[in-house]
Each structure stands twice: as structure tokens, then as C-alpha cells.
Structure 1
Amino acid sequence: MAAVAGFCDSPVPSQLFGNAAVEHMAKYGTKPEHLAKIAYKNHKHSVNNPYSQFQEEYTLEQILASPRIFGPLTKLQCCPTSDGSAAAILASEDFVRLHGLQGQAVEIVGMEMATDLPSTFEENSCMKVAGYDMTKTAADNLFSKTSYTPQDVDVVELHDCFSANELITYEALGLCEPGKAGEFIDSGNNTYGGRVVVNPSGGLISKGHPLGATGSPLASCLQQTPCYGESPSLVCGRDLCSTPPHAYNKHPVTGSPLASCLQQTPCYGESPSLMLTTNTLFNAPLFEVLESDCYTKIQLPSRNLGLAQCSELCWQLRGLADKRQVRGAKLALQHNIGLGGAAVVTLYKLGFPHAHAKKDPSYVLLSSGSDIATNVIIVEYFLLSVQDVRGTDYW
């Protein structure tokens, strides 16, 4: 990026994504108001999310008038860094059937990951440095391997670390044609009453960005987490992410390389039928051990597994999102990205729609991907804590 746009004293992430916005504006005629409208939408959505770090609604004028961070990006278009924690229990499809949990099942239709491409560094494009090609490649591969298209998606949780990234991600995911993000925003097709609801949780801009707990999909990778000795019937994995220097995380930003980290990890013995993963924002030992009289003891390397976006989409599919519920949501899409660099795109739907139990607050996540040997399900999710810093001069 330095060769294309140079560097200044502004925070580096804001320059990376701000310059992507500047490029999009120069190429397609996008206006600063389009970026501000994204932030307006996400702040408005956050009012109905009790887990959101910030729950204030702002006018478009307030967003545009907030302190400028870099280029067209103002403070209210940038995500905060947050403290948060999340946990999930995963189980095989056999486990779900055995225990009668079909009414809670959410199926992983597919998951794809892409890493930095030659175009990221060779085409002098700030949009591509910011991950446009990674996201597009992952999304294209995902839809090509399923029976769905971007137009089938009802609800999306995407990585809006800055409003600029949400804007270019609309196009990369195929939610609108290249260069048409401005029209997509102006028509209201990114919110309630439009074609698809994007970030009903409020997104990272409002919900917060607790790094490791933010949102990377996990099923295809947990599937292949190393098992030492006999096959365990229960696995406990734990991931805690610190603020820099991120002592135990290969990827400090979002946990999106989860697929690359774990898909390539050898699995010894059979896949576990039940797995517990947890996430929080602080440093942890490199290894975590589960000890139980009932289950095999197992040692797992700490990984960066995000769950917040995954949980929001499961709540949406199960009709449990309360005032932010997207009516009739049947297909959900999750997007995560971290520069330097990987992007993960995942599709979800109800696993057993006829057995769906709307009044049960827990859920499971079922994987049916062709590249995954054993179906994996999240049995229950708990958002343990999100630090409430409202009213604090966080910036």
C-alpha cells in the first residue's frame, strides 16, 4: 500500500481500508455519504442487540461530522477494540440424533477459505490489499460448490471493521455487481425491507470487535484438530487472544485463518463426537487440558476461534433474534477477514427445519460439507461477556 498511497500518521488499519474506499470512489464514483450510510445502518441495528458494545443510534449528519480518522472515514465508521468471550459445544450428527437435538440444529452448508493472492501485491490496488480478492475467491468457490447463489442469502454477518470494508465486501461476496455498492446502499437493499439484511447485530462497528471472539467459522477445522491417543468422546479447546503482541496467535486480527491452521493439522484416531470451544480476549497458555472422569483427557493447541457472528446467524435462523429478527431467514452467510492474510466465507441453514424448536435458546451447528469426513454440530452457545464501555470516552 505504501507504494500506491504512502503512509501518514493515522492508524495503519484506517489507512489500509480508507485507501480502499478512496480507490472505490475514484473508480466507481462512490461518495463519502455511502460509507456513512453503512455506519448509520449498523448503529441503528445495534439498538436492538443487548450484546452490542455500543447501542446508540446516530444521524447521518452526526456520523459525517464525527472526528475524521483517515480519508473519508470518520470515528463512527470505525470499529472499537472490545473485550468479549464466547463458548460453544460441538457434536457429531449421531450425537444430535441420539440426544434428540434435531430441533436445535443449524447446518453448515459450506465453508471456503482463501489466502493472499498474487493480485494482492502485484496490481497496485488498495482494494486488493484490503482483501477484496481473497473474499471474492472464497465466496465464488463456496457458491460454486453449493446449490445456492448470493441472491438466495437472507441475512449476512460480514467483517465491517470499517465502513469501507463492508462496502467493498458487498461486491466481493456477490451481493451486488462490481461498482454498484453505492446503488445497493441507496436502495436500502442492505437492511430490513431490502433484499438482504447485513449485520443485524450492529456489526463490528457497533457490536464491537473482540478479536478472537469476533466470528471466524470453526466447524471444518475443529473436525481435524489433533487427537492424541484414543478417540475422545469429548474435546475441550480453548482460545484466548490478547491485545498486541498476540503471543499465541499466528493471526492477531480476527481468527479468520482458522481453516488454514486446523485443516492442515493431522488428526490421530477418529474425529471427536463432542467438542467444546471457548474464546475470550486475553492471553492463555499455549495448551489447554480437559480433565473429566467421564471423558478422555486431551491436549489441544490454543487457536483463534471466533463465534460472535456465528451465534448471531444461528439465532436468526432459529427465530431467536428478538427485535432484530430477519423474517423468514432461511439461508445465512458469514464473512471474516484478516489481512496478511485470509478470508473465510460460510453458509448456514437449519439442519432439520421440521424439527426446529423456536422456544429453545440453545442451538447446534451441523456440518455437511463434502470435504468434511464427519458432521459436526454446535450444541449450545453462550455469549459469556462483552465489556460494557458505553458512556466511556473510549476513543
Structure 2
Amino acid sequence: MSQNVVVAGVGMIPFNKPGASLSYDEMGAEAARLALRDAGLDYADVQQAAVGYVYGDSTCGQTALYRIGMSGIPVLNVNNNCATGSSALFLVRQLVASGAIDCALALGFEQMQPGALKSQWDDRVSAFRRFDALCDEINPYPEIPLALRYFGGAGREYMDTYGTSPELFAKVRAKASRHAEHNPLAIFRKVVTEEEVLQSPMVFPAARLTRLMACAPTCGAAAAVLVSESFARKRGLDACVSIVGQAMTTDTSNSFDEHSMMKLVGADMARAAADRVYAEAGIGPEDVDVVELHDCFAQNEVLSYEALRLCPAGGAEKFVADGDNTYGGKYVTNPSGGLLSKGHPLGATGLAQCAELVTQLRGGAGVRQVEGARVALQHNLGLGGACVVTLYRRAK
């Protein structure tokens, strides 16, 4: 990587419930417009785009971008499950860093349906066949949707391993709601208490997983404009936020060989990606100020604290009890409200995380601003699998 990569612009629309949103192409076009406006650029300045979505036909990316321009540039469509948005970001960052281009757009959107996630193709081998087989072996509860079994099973393994209780996950969920209260783009802004989380309907009794511990299907879109530092200088753009480290990992044999639900849902992928990013940037976890991580379930937020080395293995209970995951603590985690409260439109999530962190590093987050934030960490996970970890830094 030869060029410093600047995040020149970010854009995000308010997330919404399925059935209440605009169509995917309208959402995507609006997020792209917002990012370009934030950067002070036109679509004609963009040399290449990567567009992420999970539920949609081929070339939906072109359909969205054609609403704002038809300049003939390469448009690549990306699908890496819940890590789709950050996979698009990863791709365009590589393009700019390599010197192949100077200005790129990463866009992510999702128009979701109500209910549990499900495959759209039942006439071919499932990409989750191997994952589902191990999940069935460890958690033989066929009446429970698989996503609940994956992350509920990982949470149960964590409780069994370290002697914690569901109260830990309830505290994480309640914290998310307090953060989202001040985010006008979040879908759920009502503050809930730890007790309300525990008393909400039980969706996986064997894992003591309640409905409020899980994120809900969401529709939305977000985007980022990445440019080279030289391009930013030439055009007089705001170059205060750069990506100083980024890594994408996929599964290794550990995900299956060790009969562990925590590993099956990507804890090892996240740890490997984080370690690579810290090494690339020359920055340790102790230098991070603000984090947006993949809390599709409260259980996964707990696993991610440890995978990202924000606390030691088995240390999440103390980490949460000490308030080190919120304002006044070591790392303000998910100031946006995270996936649990902000929402989780699969293709948009990674870029919504990017938008929040860039806003924080610019000092423009208002009531939810993390004071003095200079280094930000992003973690976006997709089963099947892919994990992208990105480190941002504000220029001195």
C-alpha cells in the first residue's frame, strides 16, 4: 500500500423497519449523494465504486448509482453477508491505497423483509451447510431459527466457560439503548433497562436469549468517499480522517475443528483481523478511543470485546461492570447505538459504522460525541464467513 487513504465524505440515511422504507435504489442513491456532498465532490469525480447488498439481484449497485449519474465507471457489486458494507469499503480502500485510482465510492444498502433471516435459494447447496451441521450438532433445537442458535449458543458457551450470567448481555443491550437515544438516525431510540431486557420474550430458552438481546431486520443505506491524500490536497478537501489499518479475514479450520460456537461465529476471525490492523498501523488497542463493533446480538458484543483485545479473555464481565464500554470508560463502544439499537440493514451496516466513526473523529457527533476522540476502531462480521476490521485516525 503506497498512498495514504483519506475518508473525504460519509453519508447515511435514517434506518427504518421493513415495509416502511424507500426502495433500495432510492435509499442507496440518497446515501451516495450525502457522502458526495459531505466530501464536496460530484459523482463525475468518482473513478470506481463498490456497492454492497445481500438481498437483491445482480447489478442492483448500478441501479442505485444510475439515479445520480451514468459516467461509465466500473461498479462492482459485493455480497459478504453481514460484512458486506465493510467489504465494499475494504475493496475501494485497496484501490486507492495501491495508486490505481484517486477517488472511489463505497455504498451499501439493504431492503429487508420482516422475520428471521433465511436463504433465498433452496435448490442448491447452502453456503452455510458446514456451519449449520456443526450448529445442529452442538445446539439441536430445530424449532429455533439458526441465527439465534448461532449467537445464543456462543453466548451460552461463554457463560459456561467463564461463569457469567445473562445479566452481562442485558447490561450490554441496555447500554446500546442509552447511546441510541441521542442518534437521530437510529431506528430504536427508546431507552430500556437491564430488567426490561431480561423480561422481554424468551426466543432461545436453552441459551437464555431474549428478544431484546437480538437486532431486528432493518432497511437503510450508507456510503463513504475515499480519496488519496494527494487528491485531497489538490482539491482542497477535508483530509483530517485517514484509514491507517485495515484487514479482512475468513474462516480457518479452527472455526470447525474445535467444536466451539464462539469460534464458529467468528471470534478467531475477528482476533486475527484486529491483530493485523494493530500491526499495520503501529497502534495498540490501548490507543483506541471509540469503537463501532458488530453487536448483531448482545452476546457477540461481549465476544468482540475480547477478540479485539479491548479486555482479556474472560474479562468482559469486569469490563462492563467498570463502565469501560461507555462514556467515561476506556472505550466508548457503539456510540451510535450499534446494530442492536441503530439497526442492521446488512449491506449498509459496515458503512454506517464508518460514517459514525468519521463523524466522531471530526468532532461532529453532538450529544453523543466522544471527547477528544483521535483513534477509532471498526469491526464488521459476516458468517460464512468474513470479518473486516478498520482503524481510523484523526490527523494531529
Give the aligned length.
260
Partner of 2:188: 54
2:292 corresponds, among 157, 160, 179, to 157
Partner of 1:119: 254
2:151 corresponds, among 17, 39, 58, to 17
Greater shift after overlay, 312-321 or 144-153?
144-153
Find the residue that maps to 1:109 and give its secondary structure.
strand
Give CA deviations for 1:280-305 in whole Å, capped at 9, x if unaligned.
Answer: xxxxxxxxxxxxxxxxxxxxxxxxxx
Aligned equivalents of 2:223 and 2:320: distance in 1?
34
Partner of 1:86: 222
Q: State whether structure 2 residue 174 is matched by structure 1 residue 44.
A: no
Q: Tell me how far 1:147 sits from its aligned partner.
A: 1.6
Find the residue that maps to 2:281 and give its secondary structure.
coil
Give CA deviations for 1:11-39 in whole Å, capped at 9, x if unaligned.
Answer: 21111000001001111011100000000
1:327 corresponds, among 371, 383, 392, to 371
Aligned equivalents of 2:301 and 2:223: distance in 1?
26
CA contact (8 A) 2:224 2:354 kept: no
1:65 corresponds, among 199, 203, 213, to 199
Q: Tell me how far 1:79 sits from its aligned partner.
A: 0.5
Q: Tell me how far 1:190 sits from its aligned partner.
A: 0.3
Aligned equivalents of 1:11 and 1:42: distance in 2?
24
Greater shift after overlay, 170-179 or 139-148?
139-148
Give CA deviations for 1:255-281 in whole Å, capped at 9, x if unaligned.
Answer: xxxxxxxxxxxxxxxxxxxxxxxxxxx
CA contact (8 A) 2:232 2:239 kept: no
Partner of 2:279: 144
Q: TM-score, normalised by structure 2?
A: 0.64
Partner AA of 2:196 in structure 1: Q
Aligned equivalents of 1:45 and 1:14: distance in 2?
24
Aligned equivalents of 2:240 and 2:217: distance in 1?
31
Partner AA of 1:116 in structure 2: D
Q: Trace 1:383-394 onto structure 2 (pairs within 5 A).
A: none
Partner of 1:341: 385
Aligned equivalents of 2:209 and 2:390: distance in 1?
28
Partner of 2:245: 110
Task: Pick closer, same or farther for the CA change 1:94–1:145 going to 2, 3 Å.
Answer: closer
Partner AA of 2:219 in structure 1: D
Partner AA of 2:216 in structure 1: P
User: Which one has the bigger helix percentage?
Assistant: 2
Aligned equivalents of 1:91 and 1:144: distance in 2?
23
Find the residue that maps to 1:333 and give its secondary structure.
strand
Root mean square deviation, CA, Å: 1.1
Aligned equivalents of 2:263 and 2:222: distance in 1?
31
Aligned equivalents of 2:179 and 2:358: distance in 1?
17
2:305 corresponds, among 161, 170, 186, to 170
Find the residue that maps to 1:57 and give its secondary structure.
coil
2:212 corresponds, among 76, 81, 91, to 76
Partner AA of 1:4 in structure 2: I
Give CA deviations for 1:124-158 in whole Å, capped at 9, x if unaligned.
Answer: 00000010110011111211222211111100000
Aligned equivalents of 2:225 and 2:374: distance in 1?
23
Partner of 2:355: 311
Partner of 1:30: 164
Aligned equivalents of 1:115 and 1:31: distance in 2?
30
Partner AA of 2:317 in structure 1: G
1:205 corresponds, among 340, 353, 371, to 340
Q: TM-score, normalised by structure 1?
A: 0.64
Stretches of structure 2 lacking an aligned partner (at least 5 in a row): 1-134
Partner AA of 2:356 in structure 1: E
Find the residue that maps to 1:142 and give its secondary structure.
helix
Partner of 1:230: none
Find the residue that maps to 1:332 and give its secondary structure.
strand
Q: Tell me how far 1:3 sits from its aligned partner.
A: 1.7
Give CA deviations for 1:26-73 in whole Å, capped at 9, x if unaligned.
Answer: 110111000000000001100000000010001111111001111222
Q: Trace 1:224-303 onto structure 2 (pairs within 5 A).
A: none
Q: Tell me how far 1:104 sits from its aligned partner.
A: 4.4
Aligned equivalents of 1:6 and 1:138: distance in 2?
31
Q: Tell me how far 1:89 sits from its aligned partner.
A: 2.8
Stretches of structure 1 lacking an aligned partner (at least 5 in a row): 216-306, 354-395
Aligned equivalents of 2:248 and 2:353: distance in 1?
16
